[in-house]
Structure 1
Amino acid sequence: MNAVAKALELPGAFILGAGAVSSKSVGMNAELMPLVVTASEGKLAVNGSYLASINPADGKCLQEKYSDKYRDCDFGLLGNLYACEGKPGKVLEVKASRRTGEYSLVTCLRKTLENHYSDKSLALGGTFIIQKGKAKIHIMPREFSSCPLNSNEDVNNWLKHFIVSAPLICQSVLVSRDPDLDLRVEHTHCFSHHGEGGHYYIDTTPDIVEYVGYFLPAEFVYRIDRPEMTHKTGRD
């Protein structure tokens, strides 16, 4: 996270979003919910992040503070991050309840922006809370797959899926359309104060679900360490 903030020329950045833990640091795969104030001149980074992994004892979700496992701010595999100065200011407030369509809150936001600003690429980052209901999530297994994952079906069979309960605090980064940077157009991870968290897909209780969220548009989009070879597998 500190290297990202340096690349953005934003020391002391407040960073949230969705990513994966550094498996080299914690010794396993896990979902990462970053909440970091990066280092700045004379100040160390503050890491308030969470991680969610598969509990080897019972195969269920195990949520922990990332700083309890590893006190630095490294991450691995990928990260979709929103960085800002962390100062008070105007935000976009979103309230919604009773889902009537097939799309998640995040996808609805993204498609609305895509349809309204058809000639532009807009990015949002922020936090929303699922106040009532349940949601579908996944968590990566602790070990990397022993064989290649060549299709979405392969990925879904490898991942572990759970239904988790509100209240859930979700961190989301989305782009209305990919500006030819090979971006993942939306990515959301959630954590909670009752020990459940992971990669958010959608609520599973559309009749009773309630959302409230706060978002900010991005001034710039950065693509860091873009791979030379790419694919679309596992981007849902």
Structure 2
Amino acid sequence: MSSLDYAQLPIAEKPLFVPPVEEVVDVLSRGLKANFATVEVSAAPCPDLTQAPFFLTSTGLTGNEKLVEIGGPPYLVPKVQRDKLYDLAQLLRHLQRDPAFLAGAGAGPWPHIGVNCEGIINLSLRNGTVDQGTRIVSVEPVGAPKGKSGYLQRQLPASETRTALLGNYLLSDGLPGQVIKVVAKNRTGEANFITSIRETLKKHYGDKVVGLGGTFVLLEGKVKHHVMPDFSARALCSDDDVDAWLHYFEMRAPITHVGTLVTGDMGLDLRVQHFHGFSQHGDGGHYHYDTTPAAAHYEGYFVLARSLVRVDQPKETHAVGRD
């Protein structure tokens, strides 16, 4: 099945508010203590993200940093729109980005394996050549009932650069440079790691919309992820319907996550936070929260985005399926 032509799709770009890095470090250092017993935030050189425990396709996160959102939940629910298939390598070429690093959370390319799946996007483009580190995770066996299923993680070949339906990505040159390092241990509050960061920034900056993208690793503990099964034959019209359809699993550290967050919608029908994770031991999916709060140990590296690129925003929207 062919992917959509970006020349025929609506693409908009809006600037984000970019506060000083040291100010963000101070804001997060104070705010995250509402949810974690141990918090360490600093402006630091980015480690080599191609190495363990990250295994990304670029060494860093910096260079012309933007957030990208493609499609959205309205293309998945209430009924799937299977034609919403996007080639991410072609998107980078359309945006004239080379070298480029694209990482984040989305739906995997269902035509590649014949069923719906999670996508953990991790792709670089250098001198026209794709370095594909993207993983997909699907429910196994296909059609297994909820509660009796497992899951299978696979890495996509370099020849498969499509995604489907929706996605939230950090786009940068993938260069080494200064990033915001966040270490948080022993969750004591209700909010998960990403929600804690987003709500802290929202409380401080108000209507000034801040966007972050990057990666974090759950180094210790366990985490709740969901994996989408194949597309639902019946309409999913509420969050309860979506919850009943999704398959949930408890997964174990270490798990590397990639994704984005924004503190406002900007009239672009945005998903305000979205992170997916993968691992070397086969665990992976859509991040919800750690299930062993006292043991939780997060280490994250993030960059402030300068703008947000909105691709193929749904004309008709709703608030279902955005957890």
Aligned to 1:21: 108
> How do residues 78-227 of structure 1 correspond to structure 2 at under 5 angstroms?
78-141=166-229, 143-227=230-314
Aligned to 2:149: 59
Q: How far did residue 71 of structure 1 move?
A: 2.4
- Is the contact between residue 141 and residue 151 of structure 2 (CA under 8 Å) also seen in structure 1? no
Q: What is the aligned-residue RMSD (CA, Å)? A: 1.4
Mapped to 1, the partners of 2:105 and 2:170 lie a distance apart of 9
For 2:311, what is the secondary structure of its paired residue? coil
> How do residues 22-41 of structure 1 correspond to structure 2 at under 5 angstroms?
22-38=109-125, 40=127
Q: How far did residue 119 of structure 1 move?
A: 2.5
Give the unaligned 5+ runs of structure 1.
none
Mapped to 2, the partners of 1:116 and 1:176 lie a distance apart of 10
Q: How far did residue 11 of structure 1 move?
A: 2.5
Q: How far did residue 9 of structure 1 move?
A: 3.0
- Is the contact between residue 2 and residue 39 of structure 1 (CA under 8 Å) also seen in structure 2? no
Question: Percent identity of the aligned residues?
Answer: 41
Mapped to 2, the partners of 1:4 and 1:118 lie a distance apart of 32
The Cα offsets for residues 57-89 of structure 1, whole Å up to 9 and x where unpaired, read as 77212111122xx72211001110111001110
For 2:198, what is the secondary structure of its paired residue? helix
For 1:28, what is the secondary structure of its paired residue? coil
Higher mean alpha-carbon deviation, 51-60 vs 124-133, is at 51-60
Structure (1 or 2) with the larger CA radius of gyration: 2
For 1:221, what is the secondary structure of its paired residue? strand
- Is the contact between residue 136 and residue 161 of structure 1 (CA under 8 Å) also seen in structure 2? yes
Find 2:131's aligned residue among 46, 50, 63.
46
- Is the contact between residue 181 and residue 302 of structure 2 (CA under 8 Å) also seen in structure 1? yes
Higher mean alpha-carbon deviation, 224-233 vs 25-34, is at 25-34
Find 1:5's aligned residue among 92, 101, 125.
92
Letter in 2 for 1:157: A
Mapped to 2, the partners of 1:2 and 1:30 lie a distance apart of 19
Which structure ranks higher in relative contact order (CA pairs < 8 Å, sequence separation ≥ 6)?
2
The Cα offsets for residues 22-67 of structure 1, whole Å up to 9 and x where unpaired, read as 1123311110111101364xx3211111111112177212111122
Mapped to 1, the partners of 2:160 and 2:131 lie a distance apart of 9
Give the unaligned 5+ runs of structure 2.
1-87, 143-147
Mapped to 2, the partners of 1:201 and 1:24 lie a distance apart of 26
Letter in 1 for 2:311: I
TM normalised by structure 2 equals 0.69
- Matching of residue 75 in structure 1 with residue 163 in structure 2: yes
4+ long deviations beyond 2 Å: 6-9
For 1:222, what is the secondary structure of its paired residue? strand
